[in-house]
Structure 1
């Protein structure tokens, strides 16, 4: 179909389109035996049109019912709050590392904890940040993806206008007083290469820090819980506690391969019992020891605390901030639940239980200043010690499990956006798509956790490292949120300034405090981040260079016809899927293949598996097809679009079957549209009846040809391009491409293993790119 024809169809009226849909439905009987899924007749899938205007999304999600929200709220307690829920195990011990000098210092720290949880966890995350989700997904990559959707700041030149159709966004800005500021900022970001690279690197930094949390959370949670055994057995040594903790960690990582689905329903009851225990014990301690401790709600005690302790008070903030560890999980895990369900569970269960727990511990410490190093277990009534110990260990395992699972999900997102080397991602649940297992990452995390636990031995040192990871991610989230407020929400500038002054100032204060302990363990998450960012940047940089090389050297339609019609080229039965990174055009490796193997299947599909910066792509929008210009060659281009939480393949509807089904539907639509876009004088005198009969026969013939080709065999052709630095390349470029990237590529999985392609139907085509 020519460009002009596409344009005509693209602007046709809704009434005409509905008439055509009805006519297609009337003719579906001919194709019913082939089980073709009839899509709406939309011509929004042209892969070679660079600029088009499309209507808004038709995929806006519906609000869940109240019963569903309540159910999800209960489940979220087990998945989301394990980390922040176990913080009372070690916060006071990490804050008063040198003991309590003044009894009123306890009130100052309690006031700090109260306002930190209220402002950062409740106000910032629960009521503001959760609203910045990307089509229901949260986390650093989700914020970056949301910004990329509204502004052209992505570094990979594979964006298509059609992709906007599968998201819930409206690109037109409303007429308001804040549009000018948003427009100016948008223009500056889009025209600045530095800003684009900075945003990507910042996203990588935030992601690396969260992965660092995946290492530190199991260490500090399990070590804190197991340390409580000293209350029952005072003779136990530090080395034995570390050994028990390591054994639990090894078991925890060994069971990851089974997934969290089988034990997922046990998480919520365990954490609910934990919150009931710490909340109830908190009330008991408040009544028994010092009910007046509730006066810490007055922020005056914070001021007095800083006046008395000055620098020591500022340093102690590194311990206070541990009260909000795991808060980022509220946002990162929103995709598994809903915003309302997390808000409900936080406000009704988690927040009051934590406040009561910290208040009860403060009340206990007012009478027992000397027991601050073991506050949690010392404040438990004797009869509840063993039940509390068992629940504490179980909850620490749940907290660790949540962060490990979140790390797997983050790595999966990074891979799908071209920011992480290829590793095997295994979906462990047919019910929950977000539950994945990454073997390589699992064993790396296990080794790192064992090394950290054995090396640091105490929760105080691990807490120093943990604090930096937590506050860094929070600060980066706030930075992205400010951009979203200005660019997307068009928030009043005074509200933006208020957010920066209040929330931003608090986070920067905490960040300065945790950085002070850099040499006391704080260097660990930064070291993790540097290593991970280096890996991510090298992979992403060369990935983009390869893509641009293929885009620059792609085969034109004229050259393709010349190659395909070559005298020595043999056409054989079957359907070939030729994998390519390109979403526009034919890759240069195809010419290399034909020149060495002068045989081509009767039907050929150039397939690009593309990851969109959104969570999920609806099934009906998964494939975009386009007939390559010379129709007699039976060659098509296809873009298979996936969100970062979509399954690439599943047992119920294999990828090959789905692609063939959609290809047949596309061919039927294409022939029907062409026949009904003919000028009136070309229509038969017999009327539309004979014309439609002819169309149906043509459709039937083409569909049967595709079915015959697929029955003859589907072959997967994968281009395994090697990359080397081009002639005259500088030293940095040679190190980047020839050493770092090549080393990673050679030691990681190949494309066929990542895509689960059957080896008996796989052909690899090698070619060297000089970048």
Structure 2
């Protein structure tokens, strides 16, 4: 009997599906990530010409710089090295900072310090697995100044990317509009380029709500045609004008350029930097795609197309350079053959629109990460994909970017100053990425020698470009950095206020003994129902709840202190999401639940979260079976539970629409009518729940005390839920210095005008109690 051959058809089908998905993402990435990088030829040589192209040899030197800069920074640094330092599939400045916070104790955010850090890392396994100890790691951990410096660098790098979300759409669309204006010279009028740019910018930002997936399919074909067109024109120009331009790829011409100590020539490097503008989007937008798709798109199409384009443009300029016509000759459109010029004009306009998409998408990703880390005010975040969680859209930020872009375009009307500001913002963010990456190579990958080489090699290149950008900078261009400065002020103020508020909460919290000592003898009553107290502290009783009980001496039959805490990982596995514990003696029915959220996790509906917390507490009670005779359970006794389950040892959930006859232990799914006296502490009325809870069948493994505690939990939910949150009014101490008073005022303004806390979005007014507290910082 013949031995049957193994069937690999299923594996091959999965493999093919994987590659199909990767190629599809590569195609979409062309319309999202590589748009900015691909439209560099529109303004690189035009910006360089502002400082003059002295000779053909000097021009060869500039081309050599373009080739080696494109090879070293986007190809080697980002594609081969930086993309490997993703944070579980997420990229950007804060993703690198997140890795440092986990693998070296450098975090200054509330959740990364002291007991909070240890508690949130509880049973997280590999997520918090630290690298091997080293002298450098211990030195950084013990140096508090380095912690502040790293946070400032993370915020500054994020602000530069956000600032590019304003600068890049303006320079991209304005550059293409100038080309179109030249093509339509017969009907041109004053400021025609601005008149063309403004409606296009409005249309670009209006499209953002469709999300990365749809925009990628819409923009990618434009980018493919654009790259093939400019590479074809480049090859034509090389053979038609100057085939010797191939010699410019030799680093010898860079050496000759550096050897000439002409300050004007050095300033032209600031324009050359724009050829790699958009490289940081490959890492910042990583959460929208995958590493493999990004590498394929860059290596097979983007990189070769741009090299051919720049070489062809250099060949054309080398034979047509004329100081009296430099503004025309250095435009990419001048090198396009006459028959194709009108087609080029419209195609470049479409490409410029696509080119702005990378920075806008990166801005949304960075702000979403900063918000989760407590460094940006609460804004509405819309998830535009169910499959790729990193694809987000932020409406408020989108419209602010649009207004700022329009103001910038109308106010400047010139590409050169915007190009100088864009170059300085880009190289600053790249330098910060280089510094963070060198720390990760040393502290996380345990490769200190490679870390030193990476920092020295890429750092020296980027410092050279940084100095060139500084030489180009004029004080009149400071206004272009106003959005960046305002964003940095907002981030620093929000972080400072958040930290001080957290310190105030920790200092003013009260012990569980204070709550358990309250009783009928002191005029404090326990009322039927369940109270959810949302707090930022993970131990003790928050100050606002003690303030609440002091002024209204009553609290519920069952209390649950719930804390939503962001941890420095993109996503928390559902099985590790909830940390459940008990506060005080068992008879008091007071529990604590810490909900761990990654900085890209969705904020779920309050009903789902509430049901999952109750299931988790039921599981905790059933697991606490062995300690039924103990009078009190220490607060450090915790368990970790996951998402809502249909079966469990504690409480069983059933759909509220289930027609099955309810058991004696099941829950009535509607709250009973309550009187006005109960309403004063926030008891809701007539709210229908999605699920009901049923106790598991009686078994010898479950003691009567455990079943009694579970029954009280079920009964409390049956009587109704009340959600109690603190509302802070921030003020500064009398005698505080001006800087502190100003920062606190900015923070207070942001608190009043930002979105409400996410956990209250779906809570009915009748079930919501807000306790005001004045925080003097």
TM-score using structure 2 length = 0.83
Distance 1:713-1:405 versus aligned 2 partners, 3 A rule? farther
Is the contact made by 1:80 and 1:330 (CA closer than 8 Å) also made in structure 2?
A: yes
Is the contact made by 1:214 and 1:407 (CA closer than 8 Å) also made in structure 2?
A: yes
2:530 is aligned with 1:575:
yes
Match of 1:424 among 380, 392, 402: 380
Aligned partner of residue 429 in structure 2, secondary structure: helix
2:414 is aligned with 1:491:
no
1:638: Cα distance to partner? 1.3
Aligned partner of residue 602 in structure 1, secondary structure: strand
Is the contact made by 2:580 and 2:616 (CA closer than 8 Å) also made in structure 1?
A: no
Q: Which residue of 2 aligns with 1:766?
A: 772
Q: Which residue of 1 aligns with 2:245?
A: 293
2:117 is aligned with 1:159:
yes
In structure 1, distance between residues paired with 2:119 and 2:533: 24
Is the contact made by 1:322 and 1:463 (CA closer than 8 Å) also made in structure 2?
A: yes
Q: Which residue of 1 aligns with 2:757?
A: 751
Aligned partner of residue 118 in structure 1, secondary structure: helix
In structure 2, distance between residues paired with 1:693 and 1:435: 50
Distance 1:305-1:734 versus aligned 2 partners, 3 A rule? closer
1:543-558 aligned at under 5 Å gives the runs 543-558=498-513
Unaligned 5+ segments in structure 2 are 1-14, 631-696
2:551 is aligned with 1:596:
yes
Q: Which residue of 2 aligns with 1:439?
A: 395
**More displaced 10-residue stretch of structure 1: 384-393 or 275-284:** 384-393
1:226-237 aligned at under 5 Å gives the runs 226-235=177-186, 236-237=188-189
In structure 1, distance between residues paired with 2:379 and 2:155: 17
2:463 is aligned with 1:463:
no
2:437 is aligned with 1:481:
yes
Is the contact made by 1:424 and 1:754 (CA closer than 8 Å) also made in structure 2?
A: no
Q: Which residue of 1 aligns with 2:302?
A: 350
Distance 1:700-1:505 versus aligned 2 partners, 3 A rule? same
**More displaced 10-residue stretch of structure 1: 206-215 or 279-288:** 279-288
1:328-367 aligned at under 5 Å gives the runs 328-367=280-319
Q: Which residue of 1 aligns with 2:726?
A: 719
Match of 1:121 among 71, 74, 80: 74
In structure 1, distance between residues paired with 2:240 and 2:308: 14
Distance 1:332-1:755 versus aligned 2 partners, 3 A rule? farther
Q: Which residue of 2 aligns with 1:616?
A: 571
**More displaced 10-residue stretch of structure 1: 368-377 or 286-295:** 368-377
Q: Which residue of 1 aligns with 2:129?
A: 171
**More displaced 10-residue stretch of structure 1: 631-640 or 88-97:** 631-640
In structure 1, distance between residues paired with 2:628 and 2:287: 44
In structure 2, distance between residues paired with 1:584 and 1:489: 34
Distance 1:420-1:427 versus aligned 2 partners, 3 A rule? same
Is the contact made by 2:234 and 2:311 (CA closer than 8 Å) also made in structure 1?
A: yes
2:475 is aligned with 1:517:
no
Aligned partner of residue 363 in structure 2, secondary structure: helix
Is the contact made by 1:139 and 1:332 (CA closer than 8 Å) also made in structure 2?
A: yes
1:330: Cα distance to partner? 0.8
In structure 2, distance between residues paired with 1:132 and 1:533: 25
In structure 2, distance between residues paired with 1:392 and 1:759: 53
In structure 2, distance between residues paired with 1:564 and 1:731: 46
**C-alpha distance after superposition, 1:35-86 (max 9, x if no partner):** xxxxxxxxxxxxxxxxxxxxxxxxxxx9994444333322222221111011
**More displaced 10-residue stretch of structure 1: 300-309 or 447-456:** 300-309
Match of 1:449 among 383, 391, 405: 405
Aligned partner of residue 542 in structure 1, secondary structure: helix
Match of 2:596 among 630, 633, 641: 641
Aligned partner of residue 401 in structure 2, secondary structure: helix
In structure 2, distance between residues paired with 1:322 and 1:196: 32
Is the contact made by 1:253 and 1:442 (CA closer than 8 Å) also made in structure 2?
A: yes
In structure 1, distance between residues paired with 2:193 and 2:716: 64
1:273-288 aligned at under 5 Å gives the runs 273-288=225-240
Is the contact made by 1:672 and 1:695 (CA closer than 8 Å) also made in structure 2?
A: no
1:702: Cα distance to partner? 4.9
In structure 1, distance between residues paired with 2:708 and 2:16: 44
Distance 1:395-1:168 versus aligned 2 partners, 3 A rule? farther
Is the contact made by 2:103 and 2:131 (CA closer than 8 Å) also made in structure 1?
A: no
In structure 2, distance between residues paired with 1:346 and 1:166: 36
2:219 is aligned with 1:267:
yes
Is the contact made by 2:102 and 2:128 (CA closer than 8 Å) also made in structure 1?
A: no
Distance 1:755-1:238 versus aligned 2 partners, 3 A rule? farther
In structure 2, distance between residues paired with 1:509 and 1:366: 25
1:164: Cα distance to partner? 6.5
**C-alpha distance after superposition, 1:563-610 (max 9, x if no partner):** 366653333343322111112222111111112223323332211111
Is the contact made by 2:538 and 2:594 (CA closer than 8 Å) also made in structure 1?
A: yes
Question: RMSD value over aligned CA atoms?
Answer: 2.8
**C-alpha distance after superposition, 1:118-167 (max 9, x if no partner):** 01111111111111222221111111111110111112233135427547
Aligned partner of residue 605 in structure 1, secondary structure: strand
In structure 2, distance between residues paired with 1:164 and 1:317: 50
In structure 1, distance between residues paired with 2:764 and 2:210: 24
1:133-212 aligned at under 5 Å gives the runs 133-155=86-108, 156=110, 157=113, 158-163=116-121, 165-166=123-124, 168-169=126-127, 171=129, 173-174=131-132, 183-212=134-163
Unaligned 5+ segments in structure 1 are 1-61, 680-689
In structure 2, distance between residues paired with 1:517 and 1:496: 31
Is the contact made by 2:36 and 2:278 (CA closer than 8 Å) also made in structure 1?
A: yes
Aligned partner of residue 637 in structure 1, secondary structure: strand
Distance 1:692-1:673 versus aligned 2 partners, 3 A rule? farther
1:627: Cα distance to partner? 1.8
1:531: Cα distance to partner? 2.3
Q: Which residue of 2 aligns with 1:321?
A: 273
1:406: Cα distance to partner? 1.8
Aligned partner of residue 507 in structure 1, secondary structure: helix
TM-score using structure 1 length = 0.83
Which of 1 and 2 has higher RCO (CA within 8 Å, sep 6+)?
A: 1
In structure 1, distance between residues paired with 2:590 and 2:581: 9
Is the contact made by 1:554 and 1:587 (CA closer than 8 Å) also made in structure 2?
A: yes
Distance 1:217-1:712 versus aligned 2 partners, 3 A rule? farther
Aligned partner of residue 614 in structure 1, secondary structure: coil
Aligned partner of residue 366 in structure 1, secondary structure: helix
1:467: Cα distance to partner? 0.5
Is the contact made by 1:514 and 1:522 (CA closer than 8 Å) also made in structure 2?
A: no
Match of 1:734 among 738, 741, 756: 741
Is the contact made by 1:462 and 1:521 (CA closer than 8 Å) also made in structure 2?
A: no
**C-alpha distance after superposition, 1:238-279 (max 9, x if no partner):** 512112201211222234344444433222222222222222
1:105: Cα distance to partner? 2.4
Q: Which residue of 2 aligns with 1:247?
A: 199
**C-alpha distance after superposition, 1:388-425 (max 9, x if no partner):** 33332222222223322221221221111111122233
In structure 1, distance between residues paired with 2:608 and 2:384: 22
Aligned partner of residue 647 in structure 1, secondary structure: coil
In structure 1, distance between residues paired with 2:203 and 2:54: 41
